[in-house]
Structure 1
Amino acid sequence: MAGIIAYIDGFNLYHGLRERYRHRYLWLDLARLVQRLRPNDEILAVRYFTAAVRNDPPAEGRQRIYLEALKAHRPEVQVVLGRYQSRQRTCHSCGATWTAYEEKETDVNIAVSLVADAAARAADIALLISADSDLCPAVRTVRELTDRMGTKMGLIAAFPPRRNSNELKALIPASFQLAQVDIRNSQLPDEVTDADGRRYRRPDKWR
């Protein structure tokens, strides 16, 4: 049995799920998903990298409920928060301006965690749930680092729906697309209760 750490790109996964299935599978039990993908491995950690939604109160509320439910039901899931950065956008046709928000730090946080775990020999296998090619330098660094150390960390990439990366495929031959059956059978209970008795219900929009 191999020890495995999962690194989940929340932004990449969320948008892939929404584009393919709309809101149906957003109430996702991340630890259960990893268990289904690697049933014969020991899960050492599940790290979920995301950022707090800004300037959209309903979406902020749904995200907060989800993260609280996830932590209550699966304490082994570690939520690592990046940030959203505001940027002014201008329409080239009409000149209108608006404020857009871009997620920052997620790929950096994943990269740092992945390389640090490789250096610490923290796991036999790293499961990367993302199709972000910006992670390729971190993957190459892990390979070079483990070669110098005389150790090995197996790398697996699981691409979210509607997401693909030829660059990651070239670096990680053990790559595949997440299957609907695994996503569908990895949902949290409709209501989750934490240790203090607080209840978190699946948002109606996510049914």
Structure 2
Amino acid sequence: MAAITAYVDGFNLYFGMHNKYGRRYQWLDVVELVRRTRRDDQVSVVRYFSAIVKNEPAAAQNQQDYLAALAAHNGQLVDVRLGRFKDRTIKPCRRCSKPYQCGCPRDYKSYEEKETDVALGAMMVADAAQGIGDATMLISADTDLVPALAAVRLVAPTRPIYLALPPGNSGFSGRWTAIGDVRPFFINESALRNAQLPPTVTDAANRVFHRPAKWA
């Protein structure tokens, strides 16, 4: 039996689930998900990396309630680490040089997620170097994280590495194979269905968090 230290790329997992199943499984207990995908092992810690959405108050509140419920239900087994969103004005068209504008006219703006991938990769390497847990599990299909897993292999050559690919991924990128002995698998619907938080979660301060109606 190995102690698994898992790292969740929150937005990569979210978009994979949302694109395939809608909001059905968003009230997800990521600790239980690791347990169900590695039944013969135990969970050392699950580090969850994400950022709170901007300019969408209802969605941001649902996200904050979910993260609070996740922490309340799992205690020290879950470690939530938040990055940030940075405002970004969409640049003019490269071909015609005209700006993207709505009818006001106003420049279109978008938001760029910052710090989460770097934080996730750095923590994977740091934990491997310090021997936190016996094995590394990455829940993501983002190949930008290939160098971080390669660094894990460099500092801990014999450490098992598992790659859990979120829904919507049907193949295994060859970029991962260059790392050597990465063990990939696909997260199936059954694992998601059976790894949901209770509909209502209460924390130590008696705050109550409910699964959003939209996520039913």
Which of 122, 132, 144 aligns to 2:142? It is 132
* Cα deviations by residue, 1:116-175 (Å, 9 ceiling, x for unpaired): 01111122110110011011111111112224xxxx211000011113550225535410
Aligned to 1:153: 159
Give the TM-score, by structure 1 length.
0.93
- Tell me how far apart the structure 1 counterparts of residues 131 and 191 of structure 2 sit (CA, whole Å): 29
Tell me, yes or no, if the aligned pair for 2:139 and 2:163 is still in contact at 8 Å: yes
Structure 1 gaps, min length 5: none
Whether 1:168 aligns to 2:191 is no
Give the TM-score, by structure 2 length.
0.89
Pair member with larger Rg: 2
Question: 1:74 aligns to what SS in structure 2?
Answer: helix
Aligned to 1:101: 111
Tell me, yes or no, if the aligned pair for 1:123 and 1:153 is still in contact at 8 Å: no
Question: How many residue pairs are counted as aligned between the two chains?
Answer: 203
> For residue 168 of structure 1, what is the amino acid of its counterpart?
W
Aligned to 2:104: none
Aligned to 1:89: 90
- Tell me how far apart the structure 2 counterparts of residues 70 and 188 of structure 1 sit (CA, whole Å): 7
- Tell me how far apart the structure 1 counterparts of residues 14 and 85 of structure 2 sit (CA, whole Å): 15
> For residue 162 of structure 2, what is the amino acid of its counterpart?
I
Aligned to 2:78: 77
- Tell me how far apart the structure 1 counterparts of residues 74 and 125 of structure 2 sit (CA, whole Å): 25
- Tell me how far apart the structure 2 counterparts of residues 31 and 178 of structure 1 sit (CA, whole Å): 14
Moved over 4 A (4+): none
Q: Report the Cα offset of residue 52 of structure 1.
A: 1.3
Question: 2:167 aligns to what SS in structure 1?
Answer: coil
Question: 2:90 aligns to what SS in structure 1?
Answer: strand
- Tell me how far apart the structure 2 counterparts of residues 7 and 69 of structure 1 sit (CA, whole Å): 18
Q: Report the Cα offset of residue 185 of structure 1.
A: 0.5
Q: Percent identity?
A: 44
- Tell me how far apart the structure 1 counterparts of residues 99 and 31 of structure 2 sit (CA, whole Å): 47
RMSD: 1.5
Q: Report the Cα offset of residue 182 of structure 1.
A: 0.2
Structure 2 gaps, min length 5: 102-106
- Tell me how far apart the structure 1 counterparts of residues 133 and 57 of structure 2 sit (CA, whole Å): 38
